[in-house]
Amino acid sequence: MNAAAQPTRDWNAVRADFPLLAREVHGKPLLYLDSANTGQKPAAVIETVDDFYRRHNANVSRAVHALGTEATEAYEASRAKLAAFLKVRADELVLCSGTTFALNLVAYSWALPRLKAGDVILVSRMEHHANIVPWQLVAERTGATIRVAEILPDGRLDLDALHAAMTRSPTSATCWAP
């Protein structure tokens, strides 16, 4: 699709979906650029979370009373909707509180018990700090080494170098850090 055929987006309407962005800071409209750290929430998410805590708050898959059943049904409905969007089975999804938690979960519960000296952990030069530190700690504890996939001068990942770095040698496994 060429640029002329692409639909235009009303960025003011998108911005209006996020209540926090209605604030002014130092007399200017708030611009929040630290989404790798904390993603701001649209009104629909805030309202849904508020409704859950006000009307359905209970442990998911742990309680057999009415609130527990409601919480579990809402959770599983969300899982099914996300799975359909991603075109995967619902039981293939592990839902986490955030990306940093998920990265730590993979690093410490999957990689730490499997990696050993001589193995390689591959990260890209464009990784956020939260996706570097857990792999550094895993490498330190296991004796694995970290290899960095570089980026091209225009900021894109060098896919040829990435593929070459992912090619396994006969003596080591490579752990691709997301």
* Interval 99-119: pLDDT, tens: 889 999 999 999 999 999 999
Say if CB 130 and CB 103 are below 8 A apart: yes
Backbone angles phi, psi at 10, to 5 degrees: -85, 95
Say if CB 96 and CB 102 are below 8 A apart: yes
Could you tell me how many residues make up the chain?
178
Give the model's pLDDT for residue 175: 53
H or E stretch including 102?
A: helix 99-105
b/e per residue 99-130 (b: at least 16 CB within 10 A): ebebbbebbeeebeeebeeebbbbbbeebeeb
Q: What is the pTM of this model?
A: 0.65
Q: In this structure, what DSSP letter does residue 151 have?
A: B
**Residue bearing tokens 């001068």:** 153
Integer angstrom CA distances of residue 146 from 17, 79, 118, 138, 158: 41, 34, 10, 10, 17
Q: Which neighbouring-strand residues pair with 174? A: 120
Say if CB 62 and CB 68 are below 8 A apart: yes
**Residue bearing tokens 């410490």:** 108
Q: Which residues of the chain have pLDDT under 50?
A: 170, 172
Q: Which of 80, 53, 78, 46 is nearest to 67 (CA)?
A: 53
